[in-house]
Chain A
Amino acid sequence: MLYQGIDIGSSSCCVVIINGKKEIVSSSVVPTGARNFEALKRATREVFENAGISEKDIGHTVSTGYGRERVENRDKDISEIACHAKGISNYFPDTNLLIDIGGQDSKAIRIQPGGKVVDFSMNDKCAAGTGRFLEAMARVLEVDIDQFETLDAGAEGSQSISNMCTVFAESEIVSLVAQGIEIKEITNAINRSIATRTFSMTKRMTIGVHNLSVAMSGGVARNGGVVRMLERLLKKKIAIPPEPDRIGAFGAALFAME
């Protein structure tokens, strides 16, 4: 029997299939775009084809993410907060603080061993500190979003940009580019902007919590620049799972199995 987790987020749609031993049999991530139904269809087709299975092999399906209520064949929908907590606990059972930075949300989630959510904090109505923020900055700098991790190598940290507003940050970057500031300093400032904003959110969630065991999920966990700065601020090593952007769908699949 196989179990399906579907995470329809603001920027990507992810489908994960697991077997009864909690092993990932197949997974797929496609950009959500403007038509999330089609993205879901494509991701599902890919995931079935990769594993050579069909819908009748699926025992249960749990959906999560912003499009969770629009998945027609779901047995249940569960918030992405609970799914990310569930997914990460399977990789790192001791985690008590999960940082999840996705397309339009960044979250600090306090969890108990086993993945039960105790408390959480999310970004307010602004893209600053999220994946969308990185996308906007990548567009201004005309670089690929995946390059943020390597582009800041050797930076001195001489620049800083606003972490309050994406639009203001964009115009600050245009101004830095115009001043001829090196791209490594600008990307360093961008990564630091996300890290400091996320850090203040984690601080709120961890007042009086000792022995922090921190993990990170969501697409932004792929950006080593942000992760390294967060580690410096938290004075802790952050555990990153192999495919951090699939953790929500993986957690949903675990719920489907249960």
Chain B
Amino acid sequence: MIKNEDGLLSPPLLATARMGELLAQQYLEGNTVNGVKKVAWFSSGAPIEILQALDFFLYTPDNHAALCGARKMGAEFSEIAEDHGYSRDICSYARTDFGSYFAGRTPVGKIPRPDLIVVSNNICQTILHWYQAMGAYLNAPVFVVDTPFLYEDAKEHQIEFVKMQLEELIPIAEKISGKKLSYQRLKEVIRLGKECGDLWMEILHRASTKPAPISGFDAFVLMGPIVALRGEPSTVSFFNDVLKEVDQRIANGIGAVKNEKHRILWDNLPIWYRLSWMSKKLASLGIVVAISNYTYMWGEPAQYYDLDRPIEGIAKVYLHTILNRSTGYKLDLMKRMVAKFSLDGVLLHSDRSCKPYSLGQFDQATALLDELKIPSLILEADHNDSRIFSEEQVSSRLQAFAEMMG
């Protein structure tokens, strides 16, 4: 939760506390779920609908790593992973999770053992090796969903390729769960998943209002359920409440940042261990992060769900994640966001840990300046490893960025 002792920000949304409860309940259930339900670990970008329909308890190590990052445990766990031979150059989410595993410590009590691990390479390649290593440590089967990289919209043969893999997953997951997949139940999961995605997009789009009722930092915090609990009835109800609260803010003219002067886009993952600091630092310069393409990616592909062709729809959803698409697509999305959210600048977090997301940022910055006259700032940091972050360097770059926007 972003604290607000300096009065630069409006009080956090009431929904933030409920979000914490939702995730805490899920982690709590995970503490004792082994032996009660079958457990599936999934990479945050992996298709979960089949697993949900088969009543697996779902757990995503990515979200756990982000939680450790927000609790400022990322560097400590990373060091432990490095002590075990993992390179400092690999993703700090992976190192955080490895470190937590080796240390036998976690802020969530106890992590459930996996009966099945499903991982997709639609967000990066590191994740395959990370999950395969965990599968080896924990003696759990690993199913890989291979998503071909998209240079434009998915072609028929690419959709067919992913669909075939999902059809292959069904009997494996059925065998482990001891249940038969009900298509009726699958359709219900898909319907709820689409509703979650659509609601999330509506919430984010509300920030096109001036002043922005919700900031990118609020969205980084509120996105937990769309990553870990999408397609759950409780998530739909939660996002409905968030939307109501955001609309109330618009009706009352309340902005997330009290003195909103500049509106910017945040590109890439957040800096979890500095979320509050960064939010207040930007607010002190009159800057609101109106939108982030990172929070957007968890809702945008929901448009591809298809109740008439459920498996094909799932294949399309997970093919169209932003990290599985070309850098040109990302640039095009950023340009559309500049117009929709009336942005004055773009902050590109050059994330040492996330190479796929950071690729092409210099060209994107140049194109935004040349074509739209929108200034950018490239900020070097890391999403979980605080050893990469330098407060003084970041402060002076942010101040110069604010001055550049006028």
A binds B: yes
A residues in contact (CB < 8 Å) with B: 66, 77-82, 105, 117-122, 124-125, 204, 207-208
The answer to whether A118 touches B369, judged by C-beta atoms less than 8 angstroms apart, is yes
Tell me which residues across on chain A come within 8 A of B393, comparing CB atoms.
Answer: 105, 122, 125
- Which residues on the A side are within 8 Å of B400 (C-beta)? 79-82, 117, 120
Do the beta carbons of A208 and B375 come within 8 Å of each other? no
Count of B interface residues, CB-CB < 8 Å: 19
B404 touches A122 (CB 8 A): no
Report if B399 contacts A (CB, 8 A). yes
Beyond the given pairs A79-B396, A79-B399, A119-B365, 10 more chain A to chain B contacts, judged by CB atoms under 8 angstroms and listed by A's residue number, are A78-B403, A117-B400, A117-B403, A117-B404, A118-B375, A122-B397, A124-B380, A125-B380, A125-B390, A125-B393
| Contact across chains for A79 and B403 when beta carbons are under 8 A apart | yes
Shortest CB–CB separation between residue A197 and chain B, in angstroms? 15
| Bound complex: CA A81 to CA B393 (Å) | 12
Please, how many angstroms separate the alpha-carbon atoms of A125 and B396 in the complex? Answer: 14
Give the distance to chain A from B391, nearest Cβ to Cβ, in Å: 11
Bound Cα distance from A207 to B362, whole angstroms: 11
Q: B residues touching A (Cβ–Cβ < 8 Å)?
A: 362, 365-366, 369-370, 375-376, 378, 380, 388, 390, 392-393, 396-397, 399-400, 403-404
**Which B residue's beta carbon lies closest to that of A121?**
B378
Q: For residue A120, which residue of chain B has the nearest CB? A: B400
Chain B residues near A105 (CB-CB < 8 A): 393
Q: Classify the secondary structure of A's interface with B.
A: mixed
Query: Distance (Å) between the CB of A94 and the closest chain B CB?
Result: 20
The answer for the CA separation of A35 and B366 in the assembled complex, in Å, is: 40
User: What is the minimal beta-carbon distance from B246 to any residue of chain A, in angstroms?
Assistant: 34
Shortest A119–chain B CB gap in Å is 6
Which residues does chain B contribute within 8 Å of A79, judged by CB atoms?
A: 396, 399-400, 403
Q: List 10 A-B contacts (CB under 8 A).
A: A79-B396, A81-B403, A82-B400, A105-B393, A119-B369, A120-B400, A120-B404, A122-B393, A204-B362, A204-B366
- In the complex, what distance in Å separates the CA atom of A107 from the CA atom of B400? 12
| Residue from B378, B393, B400 whose CB has the most chain A CB atoms within 10 Å | B400
CA distance in complex: A82, B388 (Å): 26
CA distance A131 to B311 in the complex (A): 59
Q: How far is the CB of A165 from chain B (nearest CB, A)?
A: 14
B404:A125 contact, CB within 8 angstroms: no
Q: Which residue of B lies closest to A208 (CB)?
A: B370
Residues of B within 8 A of A66 (CB): 392, 396
B358 to chain A, nearest CB (A): 12
Instruction: Give, as a whole number of angstroms, the nearest-CB distance from A256 to chain B.
Output: 15
B362 closest partner in A (C-beta): A204
Residues of chain B lying within 8 A (CB to CB) of residue A117: 400, 403-404
A81 CA to B370 CA, complexed, in Å:
21
Measured between C-beta atoms, what is the minimum distance from B365 to chain A in Å? 8
Closest B residue to A205 by CB, please name it: B366
Query: In the bound complex, what is the Cα–Cα distance between A125 and B390 (angstroms)?
Result: 8
Question: Closest 8 interchain pairs by CB?
Answer: A79-B400, A81-B400, A79-B399, A82-B403, A117-B404, A124-B380, A207-B366, A79-B396
User: A66–B397 Cα gap in the complex (Å)?
Assistant: 11
Write out the residue numbers on chain B whose beta carbons fall within 8 Å of the beta carbon of A204: 362, 366
> Smallest Cβ distance from B374 to chain A, in angstroms?
11
CA distance A122 to B392 in the complex (A): 13
A78 to B402, CA, bound (A): 10
> How far, in Å, is B328 (CB) from chain A's closest CB?
17
Closest partner residue, chain B, to A80 (CB atom) = B396
Q: Which residues from chain A contact B404 at a C-beta distance below 8 Å?
A: 117-120
Which A-chain residue is minimally distant from B373 (CB atoms)?
A118
Q: Given the complex, which residues of B lie within 8 Å of A119, measured CB to CB?
A: 365, 369, 375-376, 404
Q: Which residue of A lies closest to B369 (CB)?
A: A119
* Minimal beta-carbon separation of B390 from chain A (angstroms): 6
The closest CB in chain A to the CB of B376 belongs to A119
Please name all residues of chain B whose beta carbon is closer than 8 Å to the beta carbon of A121 when the two chains form the complex. 378
Which A residue sits closest to B363, measured CB to CB?
A207
Closest to B350 in A: A124
Instruction: Give A120 to B379 CA distance when docked, in angstroms.
Output: 11
- Distance in angstroms between the alpha carbons of A34 and B121 in the assembled complex: 49
In the assembled complex, the CB of A129 is this many whole angstroms from the nearest CB of chain B, namely: 14
Q: In the complex, which residues of chain A have a beta carbon less than 8 angstroms from the beta carbon of B362? A: 204
Q: How far is the CA of A81 from the CA of B398 in the complex (A)?
A: 11
Q: Are A125 and B388 in contact (CB under 8 A)?
A: yes
For the complex, give the distance between the alpha carbons of A78 and B400 in Å: 8
In the bound complex, residues from chain A placing their C-beta under 8 Å from that of B380 are 124-125
Residues in chain A near residue B366, CB distance under 8 A: 204, 207-208
In the assembled complex, the CB of B257 is this many whole angstroms from the nearest CB of chain A, namely: 20
* Chain A neighbourhood of B375, CB < 8 A: 118-119
Residue ID in chain B nearest A67 by CB atoms: B392
For B376, the chain A residues whose CB sits under 8 A away are: 119
Distance (Å) between the CB of B352 and the closest chain A CB? 9
Q: List the A side residues contacting B378 at CB < 8 Å.
A: 121
B386 vs chain A, min Cβ distance (A): 13
How far, in angstroms, from A26 to B272 measured CA to CA in the complex?
46
Chain B residues with CB under 8 Å of A125's CB are 380, 388, 390, 393
B284 → chain A, closest Cβ, in Å? 11
Distance to closest chain A CB from B383 (angstroms)? 16
The distance from the CB of B83 to the nearest CB of chain A, in whole angstroms, is 22
B residues near A124, Cβ cutoff 8 Å: 380
**Smallest distance from the beta carbon of A77 to chain B beta carbons, Å?**
8
A208 cross-chain contacts in B, Cβ below 8 A:
366, 370
Report the Cα distance A122→B378, complex, angstroms.
Answer: 9
